[in-house]
Each structure stands twice: as C-alpha cells, then as structure tokens.
Structure 1
Amino acid sequence: MKTYTHTHLLLVALCTVALIALPGAPVQAAGDDHDDHAGHGHENEAKGAAPAADPHAGHGHDEEIDPTAFCKEHQLFEREDALCQAGLIAALQPGQGLKVRLASTEVAAKAGIKTAKPQSMSTAAGVMLTGRSEFNRNRLARLTAVGGGVVRRANGEVGQRVTKGELLAEIASPEGAAARGQHGSAVARLAQAEAAFAREKDLFGKGISSRLEFQQAEADLGAARSEAEQLRAQLAGYGVAESGGSQSRLRAPLAGVIVEKHVAVGDVVAPGTPLYTIADPESLWIALALPETRVGQAVVGASVEARFDGLPGSLFRGRIVSVGAALDERSRTLQAVAEIKNPGGKLKAGMFGQVKLLTAAAGESLVVPAAAVQSIDQGSYVFVRQAADLFEVRRVEVGAKEQGLVTILFGLAPHDEVVVAQGFALKSEVLKARLGASCADH
C-alpha cells in the first residue's frame, strides 16, 4: 500500500481550497463531467426563450376543463371523454359516467365484447329447494309412424332447430297408398252425386220428377260428401297429399329442436314406431320436491327464481304450474312443477340448480353477472353500450354478490345494455389513458 506523508496531504488540501476560491468555478465531483442541470432549459430561460410545448396541452389534465373543448379524434366533448379525461373517473358519483369511443364499429365484435340488459331479481324471502330442469310436456311432441313402410327421407339431426310444418320424413307406406286410392274413389262418387242432385232438382222444379226422387238424390249427395270428408281426414292422418305422390309425409307439429331421432333412410318401420321427439327449448319445466313441512307454500301461481351452477350469472324466473295431490311415501316429499322462460335455449334439460320459492311480496332489484362489474380505484363501474363504437364507463353502487350475480343498488336502468363479456378490454383502454397513452394512441 502506498503511504502518503503529511506534506502530500497538505498540498492536496491547499489545491482544493484554491479551486473553491476561484470566482465562478463550478464545483463537481471528481471524474463527473455531467451537469446536473443540463437539459432543464435554464439557458433558454436566461435568454428569454419560450418553454417547450406540453403534448397534452388543451386536454385539461392538470387544469380546469374548457366546456367547449372538443376532441376531434374521439368526436366527443373532452368534458365527457374518458380517454382524454381519465383522471376524472375516480370523482364520478353512482349513476355518472364518461364515454369511451373505440377506433371503429368492428373493434367491439373482434374483441368479443358482449352486452345484455340487467335482470330483475326479487328481494322477497323464500324457501331454497333443489330443482331439475326438464322439457315442458305441453311443448313437446313424440312423432311415430302412422303406417308401416320404407323410409325414403329422414331430415334433420339431434339439436337442429325446425319450424312448424317443416318436412321431417317420407315413408313409402302401403296403407297411405290405399287411403289415397279410396279417397280418389270417394271424390269421384261425390262428383257423380252432385250432378245427379242438380239434375233431379231441375226436373223436380219443372214437375217432371217426383219429390221422392229429389229427396233420394239429396240424401245420396250428403252421404257422398260425408264419405269424401272421412277419407280426406284419413289421408291427412297418413300424411299423404290429395294430389301428387302417395308417400306418407311426417311434418313437425311445432317449432322447436330435435331432441331424439330414431330413423334413417332405408329403415322399414311398422305403425307406431318412434321416429322423432321435438321440444320447444324456450319454455322449460323445473321439477321440485318440497319437504313435508313446506307443502303449504306450494300453490299454483307462486313465483320462483332458479339459478344453475353451470350457468353462472344467469337467473330464470317462472311460476308453479302444478302441485302433486299426495306425498311420496318413501321420500315424504311433495312433487311440484314450475314453468320458466328460457330465452335462447341456453338452459338445457336435465340440469340441477337452486330454486327459490318466493313466500312473500317484496320489491325487485337489478342484478348483473359478476364479470360485468369492473373495479377502478376501489370503485365499482360498468360499461354501458351507447352505440356500436361508443360505451359509457359508469359508476354504480353494488350490493350483495351471490352465485355469480351482483346486485346493483344504484346507477343502472332496466333498459341499459351492459357489457357482460370482455369488459376488462375497455377497462384497459381507460387505464392506458391514465398512464398518458391518451388521444394519440387510441
């Protein structure tokens, strides 16, 4: 190690003092060539130069907002633009909002953004029961072969929607062919009886024919008409047209979905063979089993609300439509059936869920799926669709959360179209704007 003498140290100290004493000499750390104030524009200030322009000037981020300022990029007044004034979101009160304009009308669809109206949920007390969904038997049809024969056509597959009267199958049926032949003969006899009656009526009017002959012709005409109508109904029962081919045609008796199909082209079927089952998925039944202590609360017309684990965020409402006459001897439960609306058919038959049998009258509250509520600065917000490319980020007051549904106490109306899927994508745009990625980046 190198040893410094007192003389060396004294020389260093004197040099240091001399440097400090020099007028106007800047003091810097040894080996540091950086000016701590470089780039801060002090030279410009000394020369009277104007300060650098603020890229966000005019957007009012740190100043009072000009009520007439308009953002040409978003086509919104800045006082209501969430991307230009993202800092105002935290100050919103429940029911107030700012708007978010997307780059185009296609952005929302490409991002998978979906909307739905809030659902109404009763605040009444009730009994919680386990229920099982099943097809509404008043909206279900089991189709069988009326006559035997060979299947020539078998349309549709399980899960496919059909309209009322749509052709499902054609069967070359001997019974149908025979019925068509009999109907044709009856129609010919009816035409003959009509001609005979017209002739006898004319003769009777001229006094040539007797009343007995006229009455006989009239009776023959009535019998011919009755026979033709009977055979026409038989022909329709076989599904055979009055004109054209003699094949038996099977058509959908109601609009719905094919839930069972037991036939293929080439099958030889006998009368009564099951071919199709069609059900209307828009209306389902919920089978309930009430304990003996609750049978007094099961009355026709009582309201129910059902939720299913497989469909979080969805609420189904309906009423009791039938109540059993006796308890099951083994389970000591009373069977009851509720009918619910199932828009879009998203609830499937055979699903188990929790059903609330309402027992008292009360008000209603709006609920939305939990995914619709976004948290910003510890506040609760939802995005409400205003147009294809315009959404409002709105502050709401929330209540209880239960089985994927959040109660909205204030801030929403029943007609509002709330974003229920990919709302986080809109939230991200707002958060980016707060970080400074404002107008130019949107």
Structure 2
Amino acid sequence: MNTRARTKSAALLVFALLAVGSLWLLASCQRRNGGAEGAGKAPLQPVGGLQVGVANTPDPPHSGDNALIIIVRDAAGKAVRGAAVDAVVSMPAMGAMPYMESRGKVKEVKPGVYRAEYGLAMNGEWDVNVRVRPKGGAAVEAAYRLSTSTPGLAFAGGTPSAGRDKAVEGMPGMSGMSGMSGMPATGSSQEQAGPGAGMESAPGTITIDAARRQEIGIRTAPVQIRNLSATVRAVGRVAYDETRQAEVTLKFSGFVRDLRVDFTGRPVHAGEVLFTAYSPELWSAQKEYIEALWVAGDSSVVVPGPPETELALAARRRLELWDITPGEIQQIAREGKPREALPIVAPVGGVVTEKNIARGSAFTAGQVLYKIAPLDPAWVLASVYQVDLPLLRVGMAASLTNPYLDERSRHGRVSFISPALQAETRTGQVRVEVPNPRGDLKPGMFVNVELEVALGKRLAVPESAVLPTGERRVVFVDVGNGRLAPREVQLGARAGDYFEVLSGLKPGEVVVTSGNFLVAAESKLKSAAQKW
C-alpha cells in the first residue's frame, strides 16, 4: 500500500513539473514573439514602394486599450527594419461631439513588425492613418477604417504605387474619383511641376472628371475681391432720453395748495403750472422785497419805475434763487403785497414719469416732487452680440421697424456704444437716437434694429463653399486637371452670402460651392492625414 502511494505521488509530481515547463516555454515564446500576435492577420497592401499590413489586437477592437500590429515589407518582400512609423486613430467631429484622436506609441517588436498601442474613447467607426518613413527612403501613408463591431481593418487608400493611380471603388455614385494621400507618384506631373506643385499633392486631394462633376451636382465659383457690406441685426428697447429728463424740486419748504398736474403720464409743456405752493419762508421773502421797494414819503403803493435800492436788489435776488420767475416777481412788485400761493411751473416739456405729491401735502426743500421726461427724441437701446460689436461706430446710420405695426422703417443714428458687456446675455448695449415727433415710439416698446456696415473691398469666398470642421474652416480648391484639394482658411466678417477671407486663398482661385459635403466625405475616406 505504501509503495502504491509513493508511485502515485511521484506521477503527480512529474505531471506538475511538465505543466510548469510547458507554461514557461509558452511564456518564453510569447516574449520572443515580442507582442506581434496579430501579425499573421494583416494582409499586405502596396503603398508607394512598400508593402504595408495592419491588424488590430484584440480583434475586433473595443473601447479602452488596443494595439495595432504594423507589418512593413519592401517591394521584394523583405522586412523593413528601423523605419519611422506613426499611427493616428481619429474620429471626425459630428454635431456637438468634438473631434477625437489617439496617437499610438510605436515600437519595433520584430524585424519589420511594429506595435502601436493606443486607446479608444468610445465604440464606433474610426479612421486609422499610418505613415512609414524607411531609412533613406520616401515616406508613404496608408488609411484604414476600423470598427468596434467588425473584425479586421478595411484598407481605404494610400500613397499610389509607382505609375498607378487607383480609381475609387465601393462608393455609390463616386466612380470617376481618385484619391491621393499626399505623396506624388513617380513620374507624375506633380513631380515635374517643381516647387509650385505642393498644393496639388495635399493630403485629401481627390480627382473628379468633368462628366462626373455634372452628374453629382458639383459647382464651383472663383474667389474675388468684392465690395462687402454686413448687416447687424438686433432687438432694441425704446427708452426716454436721459440727457433731457428733469426733476422738479424746491429750495424752500411749504404746502401744496392747488394741484394742476395730478397723475403720472400726463403730458406737459415747458412753463405749464404744475401746482401752487404756500410757504411761510416764501411769504417772508416777498414781504422783505416789498418793504425794500417802499419809497420814503410816498403812498403805500409801490410805484414801478424808480431804481431799486441795494436792499431791494438783494431781496429780489433771493426770490430768483428760489426759482420764482421774473414775471411773478414783477407782479408782486406791482400788487405791493405778498402772494399767498405762488405757481410752480414745469422746467421742460414731456410726460410726467413720477409724481410724489398730492393736494394739501407738505414738502421739504430738496424733495423730488415731479420727474418729467421728453418723448422726442427717443432712445432705442439695442443688445448686440459681442462678435458684431467691433463692426459698429458712433454716428453710423440705423433703421428701425416695429414688428407689430405695418409702417415704414424709421431712421436714427448710433450715439453711444457701451464699453462693457451685460453679464447675463454677453451682449453690448448700443444706443440709437431716433426722432419721435408724434410720440408713437413709447418707452418700453420693442423694435427691430438693423445697422448696415460697409466693409469696403475685401477678398471674399461664398458662404456655401465653407465647411466647418470643429475649430477649423475648410474649402475645396480646384487645382486643375480635375483635382480638388482641401485647404484650411481663416475667415473674417460675414457679409450676406459671403465671408471675408483673411488667409488661405488668393484672388482668382476656384472653390467648390455645391456638392462639397460629398467631396469632403470622399476626401476624408482617402486622406491619410490626421485632419483636413
């Protein structure tokens, strides 16, 4: 029994040693393999003067960490060692989703086999762009499509082989197009053109013949210098002219006797009596003035005409400083007795915007009794977006329309541009002064404001030619021989159906204005660049 147990234990020990040795041998093979486990799944494609194959591990890829296995061979099938390899996996911007990319960390794991580790932020379809520059040779580029739901990578295009220019296949309605990744073919017209041919070989350049352009609706237009003008539109609110508003205050205390203007909103004209006031202080001042006018030895009635004494002049000046009108002072002198209630008149014409007294109420010196504001002219306070503010100037003409009234537009001028933005709306306040003789522009009313800005002669590109790609703006330029090349441009102000061109285009160049989304899709598919 003991001998049988020992034999069984020895057999188990031998089996365990064999298992451990197998695992060690497998790990050693994997280390020698250098992480090139996907190399056998990468079909080779002719790219320039090389053969390039790309496979993904795991296959299919998933969100998170992944790796590309890149095989590089020369035309004779020999492994290309020590090449500079770059790999970028990207997804274009779509709607509110921004452009995303992941740059692979590349290392050579075997002769002619390179591993690029990268990460995917989300599942979906991604563009894979691989650039290989062998030692002492020209760089080549290849483009692939990668999907987290489909095994393998789809070859989309790359640097053409010597003497070849593949036609586009597999895209409905796009036969007659050919893609170029940016490396000129040997013996091509680009090579012979010299330094001026760089744009024709830009990444993403495609070729579409004239017949196919007509079939798919591609239209072009030249870039020209035009006399541009921009229209800035905003919503404005009617307000009182603050510079012509007035407050009615008195420099003495007293009581309201007869109230003539007795409600807010009542129109008044300059010099109209607002109310009459009784004041003991005013009574005493009138009495002093009358006594100063008495002529010794004359009757009790003041005789108008004789020169006023120094005392009378001082008493008269006191009444004037209390805003008693010269006419009232003359009447006091003629009557020879103080007036119990003096009229208080409106200093300006307009409408009463505030009333703080009633019949019989007391008032104090400096108390605001009325506020009066004119209706003509009126202010229109327009809220203008900050992008349009640099176009505006004080003194420029403005037209206004009331969206609720069927009337012709009014005209005014910009009188002030606020130096600060409103924090809530991020807009700047622009004040337009408008004649309002009929008073039908009422404070608080909303109107539409249009400001015409003359930009002068500027280089302009049609709005329909511009494709927004995240933070960049791209147009497709017809560079001749049926070729359409994407080009980034810097744009200025928008003027109707045109954009001002700051850089990227020259006068006379021809750009695609219709069908450019279809062209952009094919260019993105064929391009081996990271972006347009």
Query: What's the TM-score bracket when you normalise by the shorter of the two chains?
Result: 0.3 to 0.5
> Relative contact order (C-alpha < 8 Å, sep 6+): which is higher?
1
- The structure richer in strand per residue is 2
Larger Rg: 2
Normalized against structure 1, the TM-score is what? 0.42
- The structure richer in helix per residue is 1
Normalized against structure 2, the TM-score is what? 0.35
